[in-house]
Amino acid sequence: MSRILLLSPWCPPPDGVGFHSRSLVESWRAAGHEVLVITSGSPEPEDSSPRADNNGIHVLKILGMLPRGTAARALHSYRPDVVIVQFTIASQSTTLLSTLRVMNVAKRSGVPVVVAFHEPSRELNRLGPLTRWIYRLAARNTSTPVAYSPAGAAALMKAGIFASVADVPHGSTPFREVSLSDVAEVRDRFAITAPLVLSLGFAHPDKGTELLVSSIREVDRRLKGDVQFLIAGSARQRRGIFRLMGRTDQRFHQMLMERISELSDVSIDVRGFVPEEDVAALLYVASAVVLPYRRATQSGMANLALGAGAVIVASDIRELRGDLGPAARYFRSGSVADLSETLESVLKSPQDQLRSAAVARASERSFDVTAERLLDVGLVGREVS
């Protein structure tokens, strides 16, 4: 069994990478490995011992804006067999320097450092030279780089950051039956009385949510009003200088709200963050979960939908096909007309085959598979150029 030190954002607050990390830790612990999580926080000097969270996971909240000796001392004290870093500029933002410092200490100590890049395509497109500079800093102290999709691996190599990158499945939550009581409660709380079209996740222009909004009136007409829409999510809260990145998301979210306000004659429920305990039931209850992405590296929401056995309607882009395979109905990316037609088709007939395909796909790409693969590539200790 191995001792794993994980550097990552953690929940709360709500964060896709944090949820992803928690699922990985649960898989490692179930396999008998020991895990310590180091994440952001500003403890007093005497308050630097790991605390068990509600899931019994040992977490040290000690990464701040500037590197401190506390994290390096924790690494030396813990003596891990491998350090695994969940790396994303957007989520780590103000803890980047501290994260890089711990990576440096680990590698100089001879500990393999696996760095999993979550959003290389998006970050390279959005921040260009700044992303390349930050990634090159990370590369200096990386033993094995990982991407969670072939597209992410290709982006890192095309940018000249690494000569080779390990491609590891993103991970899906295994399917669990949703209880009838949970289904009834969610239907009642969200006032679901008709087939539901669902969109969840942080607002971002790449996610193409405006395509769904533009299709709503046509889908409502085709279904003669026997359909409901739930759009949940808000702009991600950024910190430090990365608030500049958040302005684009905020403008996008404001534009969505303005467009939705013009659809007062259609049944639309607009919400911000949906509590984690409601997500699985909503995905299960929905008649269609829509992923209208224009661009992606991979999609955490796609993998959540797979784990819920959801009926998924997705834009036909390579990255989503890589995640979803045969477990989705695809529409032509960017086409409101094709999305409307696809939604009509899905909502008018049972989709048991799609639900079964989602459950099977989730099993093939489970977090157990991802956790084992990350550990394998780390313990091999392969150096990269």
Q: Answer whether residue 32 shows pLDDT above 90.
A: yes
Q: Answer whether residue 334 shows pLDDT above 50.
A: yes
pTM (predicted TM-score)? 0.80
pLDDT at residue 149, as a whole number: 86
pLDDT tens figures, 369-381: 999 999 999 886 4
pLDDT tens figures, 263-307: 988 999 988 878 877 888 899 999 999 999 988 767 778 888 998
Which residues have a Cβ under 8 Å from the Cβ of 311 and sit 6 or more positions away?
286, 287, 288, 289, 329, 346, 351, 354, 355, 358
In percent, the amount of the chain with pLDDT more than 90 equals 53
pLDDT at residue 160, as a whole number: 94
Higher per-residue confidence, 4 vs 303: 4
pLDDT at residue 384, as a whole number: 41
Q: Answer whether residue 11 shows pLDDT above 60.
A: yes
For the chain, the residue count is 385
* Whole-number Å distance between alpha carbons of 196 and 179: 18
Check the CA dihedral 246-252-258-260 and report its sign. negative
Q: 139-153, 199-213, 233-247, 322-336: which has the minimum mean pLDDT? A: 233-247
pLDDT tens figures, 41-58: 865 454 566 777 767 899
* Whole-number Å distance between alpha carbons of 117 and 290: 25
Scanning the structure block, which residue is given the tokens 């997705």? 314
- Tell which phi-psi region holds residue 221, choosing left (phi > 0), alpha (psi between -120 and 50) or beta: alpha
Pairing outcome for strands 58-63 and 51-52: antiparallel
Q: Answer whether residue 222 shows pLDDT above 90.
A: yes
pLDDT tens figures, 193-207: 999 999 988 778 888
Q: Are 89 and 134 in contact (CB under 8 A)?
A: yes
CA angle, 150 as apex, 148 and 153 as ends, to 5°? 75
pLDDT tens figures, 67-122: 778 888 888 899 999 999 999 887 777 888 899 999 999 999 999 999 999 989 88
- Give the phi and the psi of residue 366 in degrees, each rounded to 5: -70, 160
Q: How many alpha carbons fall within 13 Å on the CB side of residue 377?
A: 25
Q: Answer whether residue 221 shows pLDDT above 60.
A: yes
**pLDDT, average across residues 324-350:** 95
Quickly state the pLDDT bin for 383 (edges 50, 70, 90): very low
pLDDT at residue 322, as a whole number: 83
Pairing outcome for strands 268-271 and 82-87: unpaired
Quickly state the pLDDT bin for 243 (edges 50, 70, 90): low
The packing angle between helices 16-30 and 367-380, to 10°, is 80
